[in-house]
Structure 1
Amino acid sequence: MLPDPPAPYASGPDVVERDLATLREQLGRVPRGVVGIAARCVCGRPLVVRTAPRLDDGTPFPTTYYLTCPPAVQAVSTLEAGGLMKEWTARLGVEPELAAAYARAHAHYLARREELGHVDEIDGISAGGMPTRVKCLHVLVGHALAAGPGVNPLGDEALALIRPSWNPDRCTC
């Protein structure tokens, strides 16, 4: 299997102290389990952090791609507040092509997390409700930004919906 092409906003795994300081500012707490910056703003600040599948305290952590940019988080929260997750979960039951693409996104997510290490407690569990429901748009958007267009169909759709208020091509840091 060939590696994925780099996503438009993807970043290398290097995390420098400046990134950790930015993450502390964005999250309002010390970031946990950071193994890389999966996507960056056009200005270079983190958008999405890549997190270890097991935190330093031993806690299993299935959320590999964690959206950190406050304006992006706010835009996605607005979508969630509108009830979109229930609507999109229903679509998975009646749109076989979407369901298949979402299942592939789930497999992609699991494969990328497995690269960081195997954790029995979360084996087969991705994030965001994949592959059968839509539970967290923040995870889906984080995955879409990290992996690039065409990998997570609902992450891509959510990105398209928030573009009027937040756009990854424009710095809002």
Structure 2
Amino acid sequence: RRCLAGHPQVIVTYPIQWTREEPAIFPTLYWLTCPALRQKVGSLETDGWIKRLQHRMEADINMAKQWEKAHDEYARQRVQLVPQAELVLLREQYPAQAQVLEETGIGGARGRGIKCLHTNLAHYLAERGRQMGKVNPIGEAVAQLLIEQEMRLDFCYDDELPDFDMLGEMFVDGLKVFIVNFIYFIIPTMVIIIGGWASISSVSVTGMANPTVFFALLSGMSIIGLILAIVFGLIAIIAIVNMALNDSALGAAFRFSEILEQNSMIGWGKYLIWYLVMIVIGVIGCIITNFLNLIPLLGILIVILAIYPYICIFYARSAALLFASNVEI
């Protein structure tokens, strides 16, 4: 499902991921991708609406019946996506996974407790125009709460840049990004520092009589540190985006299952291509910066006030669009 701006709000995910060891079941059939909706629904969860809606449903027999029907329909739709031959193989060789596929409810819920408001809203938005009657009473209730907050469900996200206000909150968000990057890059930085320290120590012990040891230690540890920086950088970017999608919650940057799940929705191939493009753009930016630095004062001002901010905004916005769409950049 897409909003009127053309951006994906909900996507359908294939429920089985085959690995070398055994199949992994991804029970969330409908995935809420719109960042605006995700943020608003996250705020509802923080405000305790999972428990409130649970109490409301327990007090309403009709709502509870509709909810149970929604679970059964959700599981049926999930199974329908799987080819018959694959389903037979799963039942015969991996009965535990088959049970998760066929019996768990909305978003993989076991029992009839509300697990997540995001998955319920996604189910409601995806199916409300295709099914007769109540699709998902919890998803409908969430949608109504959003409407009461004057949020349009059919046009909730566009390409307009946010207003440059709320400087205090922006400063805090920037500080959180710094903390996340600092934590993720501790190991690569320490490797490079240790390499430099070891190479200097070799000089103090042997002098420059054997410069090979010095250069081998320095270059070897630097290369290892650079490789680690690239690897940790891949994870750090997803972590920061996941933090942004979860209302700037710092802990979301270290929920590794969510981080990997986010990236699986895009695909590692697509993500790596984007990452390489960003590296190339960064290198080009460095080259331009070096040339501008040759211009006294004016060049430095251009770099500080124009080049560096533009590259940062371009990088952040492209990452946001990549993860917001989960379909295409």
TM-score, normalising length: structure 2: 0.39
Q: Which has the higher contact order (CA 8 A, sep 6+)?
A: 1
Q: 1:172 corresponds to which residue?
A: 157
Q: 2:105 corresponds to which residue?
A: 126
Deviation at 1:156, TM superposition (A): 0.7
Structure showing greater radius of gyration is 2
Q: 1:159 corresponds to which residue?
A: 143
Q: 1:55 corresponds to which residue?
A: 17
Question: Are residues 131 and 91 of structure 1, via their aligned partners in 2, closer, same or farther at CA, if it must alter by over 3 Å?
Answer: farther
Letter paired with 1:132: R
Bigger strand share: 1
Equivalent of 2:59 in 82, 88, 94: 94
Kept after mapping to 1: 8 A contact 2:41/2:117 = yes
Q: What CA deviation, in whole Å up to 9, does each residue of 1:96-119 have, x standing for no partner?
A: 111001011111111111111245
| Identity among equivalent pairs (%) | 32
Partners of 2:18 and 2:31 lie apart in 1 by 17
Kept after mapping to 2: 8 A contact 1:98/1:153 = yes
Question: Are residues 137 and 61 of structure 1, via their aligned partners in 2, closer, same or farther at CA, if it must alter by over 3 Å?
Answer: same
Letter paired with 2:143: L
Q: What CA deviation, in whole Å up to 9, does each residue of 1:73-115 have, x standing for no partner?
A: 0011011011111122223322111100101111111111111
Q: Quick check: 1:43 aligned with 2:5?
A: yes
Equivalent of 1:112 in 60, 73, 77: 77
Partners of 1:147 and 1:130 lie apart in 2 by 21
The count of aligned residue pairs is 135
Partners of 1:71 and 1:158 lie apart in 2 by 14
Kept after mapping to 1: 8 A contact 2:7/2:157 = no
Q: 1:142 corresponds to which residue?
A: 122
**Misfit runs of 4+, over 3 Å:** 128-131
Q: 1:67 corresponds to which residue?
A: 32
Q: What CA deviation, in whole Å up to 9, does each residue of 1:112-142 have, x standing for no partner?
A: 1111124504121022447611110000000
Aligned-CA RMSD value: 1.9
Partners of 1:130 and 1:145 lie apart in 2 by 22
The unaligned stretches of length 5 or more in structure 2 are 88-96, 159-329
Letter paired with 1:169: D
Kept after mapping to 2: 8 A contact 1:53/1:113 = yes
Partners of 1:157 and 1:52 lie apart in 2 by 26
Question: Are residues 138 and 132 of structure 1, via their aligned partners in 2, closer, same or farther at CA, if it must alter by over 3 Å?
Answer: same
